[in-house]
Chains A and B, each alone.
Chain A
Amino acid sequence: MSGYNFAYLDESTKRMIRRAILKAVAIPGHQVPFGSREMPLPYGWGTGGIQVTAAVLGPADVLKVIDQGSDDTTNAVSIRAFFRRTAGVATTESTEAATIIQTRHRIPERPLREDQILVYQVPIPEPLGRLEPRIAETRRMHAMADYGLMHVKLYEDIARHGHIATSYSYPVMVNSRYLMSPSPIPAFDNPKMDQMPALQLFGAGREKRIYAVPPYTSVKSLDFDDHPFRPIRAPHACELCGSRDTYLDEVLTDDVGGRIFVCSDTDFCSERQAVKEAAE
């Protein structure tokens, strides 16, 4: 597209973001401030993720964008189209074929590889924000690794509900040092972050923060010895592909209480359906 630099952002902005990313990779889980730019879409729609993607995207990359696991929702379609037009890169819906995957609120079911980068869109990067409203104080708590407060939150969950009721944005410890918000992915996806071969980058546009989990880094979900972390999923099989070990969305089908459960990862689901059909 003429009139725009490759991947929309100008080169000096990309360099600034890459510097933030390098620092974030060097200190796994630590939030690095960056000069977030105005993007041609509203805050909360993935401005952080888009800037990170633009900074790491090369002409040979193949981009996949998912929104809640789905390749065909508005956000995913728009962001894919955005980079197709401003960078001319190839896009795909296949997790296997992609080299960069920008995601909102899910990690693909198919295990990622070393040559892939997973870019998360992050609305609220500060895991302690709900508990301690003063930013200066939360930064001090990170600096001192003073994370007792996060366990107080989990304690309260158990005291009130009998179990840890946090089902998304479940806090994790990265590399046994920094407390990190995994962005609002379901707790079900948390174990996939641990020792993942792919590089994981997190961009928060409105909050102007970038953080990262380098490949093969330990990511542990917080828990208690007698209330261990457990990933939660709906106890059903996918209506379309029959999977019993993927994360499911509940879909209402009519106005008389009809509902089905289907895989949230559309690519994974359609692949399984294709395999099933081929077998029949």
Chain B
Amino acid sequence: MNERSSKTPHPIPPPQAGEGGAHLPPPLLAGEGRGGGLAAQTPLLTARDLTLRFGRIAALDSVDIDIHPGEVVAIVGESGSGKTTLLRVLSGLMRPDAGEVSYLGQDVLGMTEAARRRLMRTEWGFVHQNPRDGLRMAVSAGGNIGERLMATGARHYGNIRDQAAHWLTRVEIDPTRMDEVPAKFSGGMQQRLQIARTLVTLPKLVFMDEPTGGLDVSVQARLLDLIRALVADLGLAVLIVTHDIAAARLLAHRMLVMRHGVVVESGLTDRVLDDPQHPYTQLLVSSVLA
């Protein structure tokens, strides 16, 4: 047991964790380690036995995953290991060949498209790797943030603007730039704007696909810090796909390591990274610089 994981037994639920986050929010104990109270909540999202083949390639090979409220779960692995496919299947964007996904008892794969879209714009969020996929580039920053509000029935211009200004501030963008289009923003700002736009309806579960990809290192660090603070403040459950082990270590409570569509190892982030069991995980961890 290392120093950090010896701190984890404090039974503090993550939403109360320190502001700005100089420390990691104490990870929720997963699985059998759960006591009573908040930690005993049923999982938000459960997937069992997901299998998907692209021709001869197994993109997913009987993958199981649980995500609990307020928990950050990272999926790591090399390119082509099935990480993004898993994300797309879990969020209902893609159908698996076999297996089931349920969100708070609802069958995600069996629900109507209308119901899935409703989830997607209220209780779920999706942060794309490329902000251009998640933003409307011709629409102002304020309009981008307001879209989810308007899609869920907000019809008061003043309130929508107030919310937009509030969220711009939260993601450290100057609210006076509210009426500029995202094309004028830097890559890091675009990514932060995408996060603001996703979180404005206070989702319970956010899917993030390589949110720090394509950004330079200092911007990545700032973005990770921001995500960590927001996640702790809002008590979000996040499923984050990344090949960046450092990002996973910083953000995630729990981690799944994927290779060739199979989850080869899973557990608390610190356990997996400090004491990797599977040879592939050992290789991954040892190939991280510094």
Contact = CB atoms under 8 A, between A and B. Distances in A.
Interface string A131-169: 000000000100110111101100110111000000000
Nearest to A155: B143
Interface string B230-258: 00000000000000000000000000000
Given A144-B114, A156-B140, A159-B140, A149 B157 contact: no
B117 A144 contact: yes
Contacts, number: 55
Nearest to A146: B117
Interface stretch (B61-69, B148-156, B274-282): B148-156
Nearest to B114: A144
A223 B121 CA distance: 21
A227 B150 CA distance: 14
Contact of A152 (B136, B158, B178, B179): B136
Contact of A148 (B152, B156, B158): B152
Contacts of B157: 155, 158, 224-227
Given A148-B147, A149-B147, A160-B179, A155 B160 contact: yes
Interface string A249-277: 00000000000000000000000000000
B117 A152 contact: no
A143 B178 CA distance: 32
B155 A152 contact: no
A261 to B, nearest CB: 31
Given A152-B139, A152-B146, A155-B160, A224 B117 contact: no
Interface in B124-171: 136, 139-140, 142-143, 146-148, 150-152, 155-158, 160-161
Contacts of B158: 226
Does more than half of chain A's interface fall in helix, strand or loop, or is it mixed? helix
Contacts of A143: 114
Given A148-B151, A160-B179, A227-B157, A155 B146 contact: yes
B172 interface: no
Size category of the binding interface on chain B: 20 to 34
Contacts of A160: 140, 179
B107 interface: no
A226 B155 CA distance: 8
Interface string A225-253: 11100000000000000000000000000
A225 B136 contact: no
Contacts of A147: 151
Contacts of A158: 157
A223 B156 CA distance: 9
A182 to B, nearest CB: 20
Contacts of A152: 136, 139, 143, 146-147, 150
B44 to A, nearest CB: 24
Given A224-B157, A225-B155, A226-B156, A156 B113 contact: no
Contact of B143 (A144, A156, A225): A156
A118 B146 CA distance: 37
A223 B154 CA distance: 11
A147 to B, nearest CB: 8
Given A225-B156, A227-B157, A155 B151 contact: no
Contact of B151 (A146, A223, A226): A146
A264 to B, nearest CB: 30
A88 to B, nearest CB: 50
A224 B143 CA distance: 14
Nearest to B153: A148
A180 to B, nearest CB: 18
Interface in A76-115: none
A156 B164 CA distance: 13
Max chain B C-beta neighbours (<10 A), residue from A149, A152, A225, A227 = A152
B137 to A, nearest CB: 12
Contacts of B160: 155
Given A148-B148, A227-B157, 18 more contacts: A144-B113, A144-B117, A148-B147, A148-B150, A151-B146, A152-B150, A155-B146, A155-B150, A156-B139, A156-B143, A159-B142, A159-B161, A159-B179, A160-B179, A223-B155, A224-B155, A226-B157, A226-B158
Q: 3 shortest A-B CB distances, which residue pairs? A: A148-B151, A151-B150, A224-B157
30 contacts: A140-B113, A143-B114, A146-B117, A146-B151, A147-B151, A148-B148, A151-B146, A151-B150, A151-B155, A152-B143, A152-B146, A152-B147, A152-B150, A155-B142, A155-B146, A155-B150, A155-B160, A156-B139, A156-B143, A158-B157, A159-B140, A159-B143, A160-B140, A224-B157, A225-B155, A225-B156, A225-B157, A226-B157, A226-B158, A227-B157
